[in-house]
Amino acid sequence: MGSSTGKVQLPTAAAGVAPAHSLPISLDVSTNNAALVANLRCKGLRKPGTPRDGRFPVLLSTAAAIAAAGKHLAT
């Protein structure tokens, strides 16, 4: 079980939402730390990280895409 999957279980249980109705998402913006990128145990992307000022627009566009998709999936 991935970290994001484990983190979604408690809130969904506390709110009474079935975990099957949730979608854990993990966004990897990578890192500029050369030691972490070189570490083979690091599961992240092996490329330079997104600059700090570029991360928020990535999060906003991802959230907007999820919201748009959710409108089509809602019953």
pLDDT in tens, 9-37: 666 667 777 777 777 777 777 778 888 87
Average pLDDT, stretch 49-74?
81
Q: Is the pLDDT of residue 69 over 80?
A: yes
- Residue 10: the pLDDT is 67
pTM flag (> 0.95): no
- Residue 4: the pLDDT is 55
Residue type (1 letter), 64: A
- Residue 7: the pLDDT is 64
- Estimate to the nearest angstrom the gap between the alpha carbon of 9 and the chain centroid: 15
Average pLDDT, stretch 59-64?
88
